[in-house]
């Protein structure tokens, strides 16, 4: 299994949209090594050639220490065979639903979702690995696993998950497609980080990253990492969360 890297990060199920996304906010350029927002499409990112620390691109270097240690990405957390078994269990359930245009709070577009309690033994083993990696032993977790299916055109707007329904950590496996998760400080929209989530990775957002940064999944047209287009396909995320502290 690939090694995890810990960096800066966010989370959850019930969503609180912090503010409307404004494309204009994302245009401009940043110092070398940082993100180039809104740049033109160039060659696709070759994910296999990227070391894990290259999965994060920040608008200012000081963000790195603020995001750490709340952000973890484990590339290749699930194997292609495991991805296929997860998909095999989820697809019949998802297929019965229609993609919806907007969520009740309009945070998500082009999605269908389900929550699942019972899993096949193989998939339960994968989820157990997620739980062991993301949560300290004994931490109270939501037993329902959230499954979110974004169609190719689908995307998730910037939001912070409701503290009423979700605890300090979100752990998600990304299936079928790579994507860009953007994290933006709730106090200063100039502080932004783009996280490249390779297909089959696990990401974990916890603590300050979950509370102090919005998170979003970019649509295909905006899905650039350091100037290279990261093609967004249909994407399924399988997300475990802990309970809010009572």
Q: Which stretch binds ligand AKG (CB under 6 A): 11-19, 28-36, 66-74, 86-94?
A: 11-19
Neighbours of 175 (CB within 10 A): 22
Residue 215 C-beta: closest distance to ligand AKG, Å: 6
Residue 52 C-beta: closest distance to ligand AKG, Å: 18
- Does 172 bind ligand AKG (CB under 6 A)? Our answer is yes
In the shown chain, the binding pattern of residues 96 to 135 toward ligand AKG, with x for contact by CB under 6 A and - for none, equals ----------------------------------------
In DSSP notation, 180-220 reads EEEEEESS-TT-EEEEEE-TT-EEEEETHHHHHEEEEE--G
Matching residue, tokens 């019930």: 14
Comparing every residue's Cβ against ligand AKG, the nearest one is 237
Residue closer to ligand AKG, measured from CB, 34 or 202: 202
Give the separation between CA 54 and CA 49, rounded to whole angstroms: 10
- Does 199 bind ligand AKG (CB under 6 A)? Our answer is no
Residue 68 C-beta: closest distance to ligand AKG, Å: 20
Q: Which stretch binds ligand AKG (CB under 6 A): 10-18, 63-71, 75-83, 115-123?
A: 10-18
Residue 92 three-state SS = helix
Characterise 76 by phi-psi region: left (phi > 0), alpha (psi -120 to 50), beta (else). Answer: left
Q: For binding to ligand AKG (CB under 6 A), which residues are involved?
A: 12-13, 15, 148, 156, 161, 172, 215, 217, 237, 239
């Amino acid at each position: 299994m690939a090694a995890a890297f810990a960096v800066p990060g966010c989370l959850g199920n019930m969503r609180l949209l912090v503010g409307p996304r404004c494309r204009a906010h994302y245009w401009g350029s940043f110092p070398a090594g940082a993100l180039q927002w809104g740049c033109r499409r160039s060659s696709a990112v070759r994910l296999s050639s990227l070391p894990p620390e290259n999965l994060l691109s920040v608008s200012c270097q000081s963000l790195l220490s603020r995001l750490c240690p709340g952000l973890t990405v484990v590339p290749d957390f699930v194997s292609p065979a495991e991805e296929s078994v997860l998909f095999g269990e989820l697809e019949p359930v998802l297929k019965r639903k229609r993609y919806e245009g907007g969520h009740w709070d309009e945070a998500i577009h082009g999605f269908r979702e389900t929550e699942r309690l019972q899993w096949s033994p193989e998939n339960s083993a994968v989820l157990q690995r997620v739980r062991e990696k993301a949560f300290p032993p004994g931490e109270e977790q939501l037993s329902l696993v959230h499954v979110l299916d974004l169609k190719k055109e689908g995307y998730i707007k910037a939001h912070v998950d409701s503290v009423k329904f979700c605890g300090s950590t979100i752990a998600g496996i990304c299936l079928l497609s790579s994507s860009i998760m953007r994290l933006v400080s709730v106090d200063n929209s100039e502080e932004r980080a783009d996280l490249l989530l390779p297909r089959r990775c696990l990401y974990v957002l916890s603590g300050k990253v979950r509370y102090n940064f919005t998170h979003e999944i970019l649509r295909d047209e905006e899905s650039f990492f350091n100037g290279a287009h990261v093609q967004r396909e249909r994407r399924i995320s399988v997300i475990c969360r802990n309970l809010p502290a009572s």
